[in-house]
Chain A
Amino acid sequence: MSFTHSSRRAAPARRTTLTVCAAGFALVLAACGGGMSPEEAAQQGDEAPGDAAEFTGDYTGPAVELAYWNGFTGGDGPFMQDLVEQFMAEHENITVVSNTIQWADFYQRVPAAVNAGEGPDVGVMHLDQLATNAARSVIVPVDSIAEGLGLSADDFSEEVWDAGVYQDERYGIPLDVHSLAMYYNPEHFEEAGITEVPTDEESFMAALDALQEAGHEEPFWMPNQWPGHLMYLSLAWQNGAEVYAEDGSAASFASPEALEAAEWQRSIIEEGYSPSDVAIDSQYAAFKNGENSITWDGIWQINDLEESGVPYEIAPVPTIFDEEAIWANSHNFFITKQATADENKYQAAQVFIGWMSEQSAEWAGSGMIPARQSVRDSGVLDDTTQGVIAEQIDSMRFLPPVPGLGGVQAEALEPALSEAILGRSDPSTALERASEQATELMEQNLESFGG
């Protein structure tokens, strides 16, 4: 994805009222892909008080140009570009102008650009950024699109669906889900005589020991930065920790359960399974070079690994603690307040999102897991690498929809965890301090956004 190296950043946060959202436009976006019957389309009418155009399946107005921003800079980029071209071929009166920006910059630029009226009309952002941008009223609710498409919680995993809601309104239409996964080198596994892919702590540690005996001295490198904090979140959730309060009022990085997660990460180094001081990206580079045997990273690396030619297999991250849980995120379509200034653009934007949402099967080629149950069930994942990860979709966990959480993570959690993993400070000291800091930031956010 997208989430490649420097782009790893989540971003900022905050804000209250929602100006726009002229409710539904009886968007029958459904035309391109179905999902909504004429009856359903008709129902749209009642929730669009005094709405203007009520379109019936497609955008029929004058030619418009949509600015479409996304951060698909990795192996997923070409797939997105193909989809955009296909969309334009099918919709002659809509021109989509794509702008691809690294995610890291994306989240700083979009609010500024939208405020200046120079931003995207429509775009894709991560699930954990929706609340932030909703609170800043950069983006507008898309409940009407969801209804227009006949999308409902039933078609998504509950977690991913709920996380798109901020203050009772929906802000994103999920395209895909992507999580951490365990990549391993099958040749190393064979040398070590490992036949069963490890699934829990016991089998995982046994595998590490076997790999060491087979001559792979440091089989599992523990990164001190990205994606170290994603491992930490996964492990903490596995251990039953609540890292962030759902209401966004507090962080607890150093609860006993969460602390155990960080200590486990540190222990991997102390027990010699990982070299110390694993810097940014080097665990992944080492995996590509066949230097280590196992790495936990996002499924967006699939295409990159495929290209690199290294032998690899993918499996779910083992459940080191009690519960099955794994950090995940999701790409969501959004509409900005900028688009709502122009009725035609607003409608065309909805048509675009509706159409894209229908194409998530094709999007699976990018290495992602389609967010919709119906698409996953259709068999598109059968022959894909990520299929095995898609099966654990119910244990995927998302950050709660709290505005500003991205900034809190970058400012508080990541540096502290880095110190803990590097052994520069005791995990409990580092995480307690970070927890205080995060809570203070979150309180400020709540205040700024008016709760």
Chain B
Amino acid sequence: MATSAAQIREEVDTGESPTQRTPRRLVTHGKVTPWLFLAPYLTLFVVFVIAPIVYGAWISLHRYDYTLPGKPFVGLDNYLTLLTPGSITFDIFWDSMQATAIFTVTSVPLLLVIPLLVALVMNRSFPGRNVFRAVFFAPYVLGVAVVAVLWRYLLDRNIGLVNYYLEAVGLPGDIAWTTSVPAAWVALVGVTVWWTLGFNAVIYLAGLQDIPRELYESARVDGANGWQQFRHVTLPGLRPVLSFVTMVTIIASVNMFGQSYLMTEGGPGRATRTAIYQIAETGLRNYQMGSASAMSYVLTVFLMLLSLGVFWLFRERRG
């Protein structure tokens, strides 16, 4: 009788010789066991993720204000208002979605490319490397309030240091960084890149260090130059990291709130009010939680579509 592969493996695993072998009984568990193992996580997941999602959807079907006894059911009204051109909510919401889009489209590419360049440099060995790594990562540990208030003063058109130095080197020194567009977007994106690039750079760096050195060696043996090594070794090696970083950065950018809340107060006018900003205003300041929930769901749908797009872009391609 031939010994099956499974049996061999079992023997090796248990270290038993074939002669001592007793028929191995597969331990079967009740169907409940895996669920018991899952239970702690599942409980948390249901209570803190699933339930709020469902509850939020329920809220979005009401005219909901938790301080009032009456929370009338309005069906899809909250969504319809958001989709009816001409209503005030429509303008406000889609303006804020547009602001979110502007910020995302301008900040994500920078936050993907600049940290990668930084990581590539940091990955080489040179004296003082650790100091530079720390310097680039340092702003990330600051809270958004610190970052925003700091830059709000630095970027002030009339009393800020940035304009002062721009003028000192002969550039225009009267740019309204926080009170005019597109300067406000430049400021917000710039500050965000400065603030968060360290995080992405660290992830990239970890990814770079995971790429086997042999690949570079054989590439060099094959006569690949620097660019070719980057193109055919580094980038493919970074693919999983790249897709993670892209996803996380997009989500972070779409959720931008603190910077514009604190640096521009959504201004000039409401030009830099992002969707999250508007949702917070509507739900938390004006207590129109139904409407705010509806906005959140519309935003979520956009985010999900975007995620699908990113996954598709980074899918494993064969051949």
Contact = CB atoms under 8 A, between A and B. Distances in A.
B69 A17 contact: yes
Given A136-B67, A411-B286, A441-B286, A282 B159 contact: yes
A430 B271 CA distance: 13
Contact of A282 (B88, B92, B158): B158
A374 interface: no
Interface stretch (B16-24, B103-111, B176-184, B297-305): B176-184
A415 B267 contact: yes
Contacts of A425: 269
Contacts, number: 112
A279 B158 contact: yes
A91 to B, nearest CB: 32
B285 interface: yes
A168 to B, nearest CB: 20
Contact of B265 (A280, A286, A424): A280
Nearest to A108: B284
Contact of B158 (A108, A278, A416, A444): A278
Contact of A277 (B68, B158, B265): B158
A344 interface: no
B114 interface: no
A282 B67 contact: no
A277 B285 CA distance: 27
Nearest to A408: B286
A448 B65 contact: yes
Contacts of B69: 16-17
Contacts of B285: 9, 11-12, 108, 406-407, 410-411
Q: How large is the interface on B (under 10, 10 to 19, 20 to 34, 35 or more residues)?
A: 20 to 34
Given A12-B287, A277-B179, A415 B68 contact: no
A277 B179 CA distance: 6
Nearest to B287: A12
A25 B68 CA distance: 27
Interface in A400-451: 404, 406-407, 410-411, 415-416, 418-419, 422, 424-425, 430, 436-437, 440-441, 444, 448-449
B269 A277 contact: no
Nearest to B155: A279
A40 interface: no
B68 A13 contact: no
B66 interface: yes
A285 B159 CA distance: 8
A401 B312 CA distance: 55
Nearest to A218: B158
Interface in B156-179: 156-159, 176, 178-179
Interface string B73-90: 000000000000000100
Nearest to A440: B88
B266 interface: yes
Contacts of A441: 286
A328 B270 CA distance: 26
Contact of A291 (B159, B266, B268): B159
Given A224-B268, A225-B265, A416-B269, A14 B67 contact: yes
Contact residues of B: prevailing secondary structure: loop
Given A6-B262, A425-B269, A12 B68 contact: no
Contacts of A415: 266-267, 269-270, 273
B10 to A, nearest CB: 57
Contacts of B179: 224, 277-279, 422
B78 to A, nearest CB: 12
A264 B270 CA distance: 22
B176 A277 contact: yes
Given A14-B67, A16-B69, A448-B63, A279 B178 contact: yes
Given A224-B179, A224-B268, A437-B88, A279 B157 contact: yes
Contact of B268 (A221, A410, A419, A436): A419
A282 B66 CA distance: 38
Contacts of A282: 156-159
A279 B264 CA distance: 8
A441 B180 CA distance: 27
Nearest to B68: A15
Contacts of B268: 224, 418-419, 422, 424
Interface in B126-170: 152-153, 156-159
Contacts of B63: 448
A107 B158 CA distance: 32
Interface centre among A289, A406, A415, A436 (most CB of B within 10 A): A415
Interface string B57-69: 0000001011111
A277 B67 contact: no
Interface centre among A137, A285, A411 (most CB of B within 10 A): A411
Given A276-B176, A277-B180, A221 B158 contact: yes
Given A279-B152, A286-B158, A448-B68, A14 B287 contact: yes
Contacts of A112: 66
Contacts of A276: 157, 176
Nearest to B286: A407
A255 interface: no
Contacts of A11: 285
A14 B66 CA distance: 10
Contacts of B267: 224-225, 415, 418, 422
Contacts of B153: 285
A111 interface: yes
A138 B262 contact: no
A115 interface: yes
B89 to A, nearest CB: 9
A115 B67 contact: yes
B67 A436 contact: no
Interface in A221-251: 221, 224-225
Contact of A280 (B152, B180, B288): B152
Given A15-B68, A137-B67, A448-B68, A277 B266 contact: no
B176 to A, nearest CB: 4
B269 A436 contact: no
B185 to A, nearest CB: 14
Given A108-B285, A278-B157, A449-B68, 4 more contacts: A14-B67, A276-B157, A282-B157, A411-B285
Interface of A: 6, 9, 11-17, 108, 111-112, 115, 136-138, 221, 224-225, 275-280, 282, 285-286, 289, 291, 404, 406-407, 410-411, 415-416, 418-419, 422, 424-425, 430, 436-437, 440-441, 444, 448-449
24 contacts: A14-B67, A14-B68, A111-B67, A115-B66, A136-B67, A224-B267, A225-B265, A276-B176, A277-B180, A279-B158, A279-B178, A280-B265, A282-B157, A404-B287, A407-B287, A410-B285, A415-B267, A422-B180, A422-B268, A422-B269, A425-B269, A437-B92, A448-B65, A449-B68
